[in-house]
Amino acid sequence: MLDRLRSLIGAENVLTGADMAPWCREWTGHYRWTPLAVARPANTAEVAAILRLAGESGTKVVPVGGNTGLNGGTYAEGALMLSLARMNRIREIRPAARVAVVEAGVVLEAMHAAAAEHGLAFPLTFGAKGSATIGGVISTNAGGSNVLRYGTTRALVLGVEVVLADGRVMDLMGALHKDNTGYSLRDLVIGAEGTLGIVTAAVLKLVPAPRAYATATLALSSLDGALTLLNRLQAETGGAVEAYEFMPATYMAKLAQHRPDLRQPFAEVHPVTVLVEVGATAPRDATPGPDGALPVVTHLEAVLAEALEDGALLDAVIAQTEAQRREMWARREAAAEITFTAPVLVDTDVALPLDRLQAFLDAMTARLAALDPGATELVVAHLGDGNIHYTAYPSRDDLALQVEIRAAVAEEAVGLGGSFSAEHGIGRSKLATLQAHKNPVALDAMRAIRAALDPTGVLNPGKTVV
């Protein structure tokens, strides 16, 4: 099989042995494996040929992008890993239509740079933007910090090209905002984690790049107060709040411990710290006045001053330079680095209705204490869209306890009308949770769809739904 693979894409593009090392573990280190080989095709035709070969030989295939997932979605023991890193062309950017046609191996940060050359933006962004690829973010329906204004990946993809398990190519590469021609197969593939087909290209929606930002770090006494302030800011800015990131006192304390180079924003640690960013696309909001001040910044200062006066806000620091803005973002984007400093942890990713976030946190603090009195917790959140990254640190290395904690998080989230997976997908680590909480009829429908598109189970086995 490997000899045939080498003849298809070139021996130098079929990696085995020590050359596979970068593809033998997930970023977190929680999952490790030894693949059969790593194939690096150059185009869609080669991907199709590889899948036909895999089907003939009964070889399982696991697609991989930047390998920055957190739930074991690229676990590939004995399987052929399909890396799309060589398929990294931005085929075209059409500024008038505000779309980009790109291949799956394009790194997210490269997409940002290419759009910026045209005064546009691809607004999906998160900490792993320097390594995550377009195929990966599509396959996981990635979120990030700008979902509040622009939506998840699904809202930013107009079309996809997908190679099915049998090697056929499904061309859905339209650049249409409306296409009511039957089932939305594009949306079915987005978030499927490579179990229904291999995404090889996409048509992405671009937006006007903000001409200026107003960025601030806020101190508040409560989460409910932070949400009230968010609604106030949205009303005052016409919905221009792009990010609203929650960092509680426990996170800020851990930040000070592990990243003392990132200065604390306030003299004391407050119960709630929020990073807010408003993006201005209109020239009237982004053109400096006679005093050199940006109207978008001046407006944010005025709104926050009113909030300080009426007690809705304890303190605020507004970035006056790009360096100060980057420092504010660095505090939030250090979350992944800080989260995985402990050898034993349970990292989860839930979403809740905005008015039930505090109820979830209160319930989980109590549940964790009951399960393990010596455990600690760490929380950060994309507060504007209700996505909480809740991490528990058990006091002992006990797999059964970790399973109990993960189950408790899911139970509390679902019980409050939330989801046990907001933006990181299912992979392997959430399969049991999926079985416990997904509607059984919906599970049957998911299995039927998977069986119809991949009857022999070639694509990314043991992930998303079994």
> Which residues are within 8 A (CB) of 356 and not within 5 positions of it... i.e. 6 or more apart?
416, 417, 418
Listed in sequence order, the residues at least 6 apart from 265 whose beta carbon sits closer than 8 Å to its beta carbon are 217, 219, 273, 317, 328, 331
Q: What is the DSSP string of 236-298?
A: HHTS-EEEEEEEEHHHHHHHHHH-TTS--SSSS--SEEEEEEEEE-SHHHHS--TTS--HHHH
The per-residue pLDDT for 221 is 96
Output the pTM of the full model. Answer: 0.93
Alpha-carbon distance 360 to 389, whole Å?
A: 12
Residues 372, 44: Cα–Cα separation, whole Å: 50
**What gap in Å lies between CA 68 and CA 91, rounded to an integer?**
24
Q: What is the pLDDT of residue 26?
A: 87
Domains and CATH numbers, the chain: 2-83 (3.30.43.10), 90-208 (3.30.465.10), 212-335 (3.30.70.2190), 342-447 (3.30.70.2740)
- Residue 313 tokens read as 């806000």
Give the largest CA-CA distance in the chain.
73
Dihedral sign (CA 210, 216, 217, 223): negative
Q: Which pLDDT does position 29 carry in this prediction?
A: 78
Sign of the CA dihedral running 28, 29, 30, 33: positive
pLDDT for res 69: 85
Question: Closest Cα partner for 38 from 48, 52, 27, 24?
Answer: 24
The CA-atom distances, in angstroms, between 133 and each of 5, 104, 249 are 24, 7, 33
State whether residue 91 is helix, strand or coil: strand
Q: Helix, strand, or coil here: 358?
A: helix
CA distance 11 to 24: 20
With contact defined as beta carbons under 8 Å apart, do 436 and 29 qualify?
no
CA distance 207 to 344: 41
CA distance 346 to 416: 20
Cα separation, 170 vs 353, whole angstroms: 36
> What residues are paired with 107 via a beta bridge?
133
Q: What is the pLDDT along the chain (466 residues), one digit of tens a residue?
A: 999 999 999 999 999 999 999 999 987 778 999 999 999 999 999 999 999 999 999 999 999 999 988 888 999 999 999 999 999 999 999 999 999 999 999 999 999 999 999 999 999 999 889 999 999 999 999 999 999 999 999 999 999 999 999 999 999 999 999 999 999 999 999 999 999 999 999 999 999 999 999 999 999 999 999 999 999 999 999 999 999 999 999 999 999 999 999 999 999 999 999 999 999 999 999 999 999 899 999 999 999 999 999 999 999 999 999 999 999 999 999 998 899 888 899 999 999 999 999 999 999 999 999 999 999 999 999 999 999 999 999 999 999 999 999 999 999 999 999 999 999 889 998 999 999 999 999 999 999 999 999 999 999 999 999 8
Sequence-ordered list of residues with C-beta below 8 angstroms from that of 250, at least 6 positions apart, any chain: 376, 377, 378, 379
Report the alpha-carbon distance of residue 304 to residue 299 in Å, rounded.
9
* DSSP characters over 293-339: --HHHHHHHHHHHHHHHTTS-SEEEE--SHHHHHHHHHHHHTHHHHH
Report how far residue 303's alpha carbon sits from residue 299's, in angstroms, rounded to the nearest whole number.
Answer: 6
pLDDT at 274: 98
As given in the structure block, the two tokens for residue 60 are: 């399982």
State the Cα–Cα distance between residues 162 and 97, nearest whole angstrom. Answer: 23
What is the reported pLDDT for 272? 97
Please identify which residue in the block is written with the tokens 């079309």: 159
Overall size of the chain counted in residues: 466
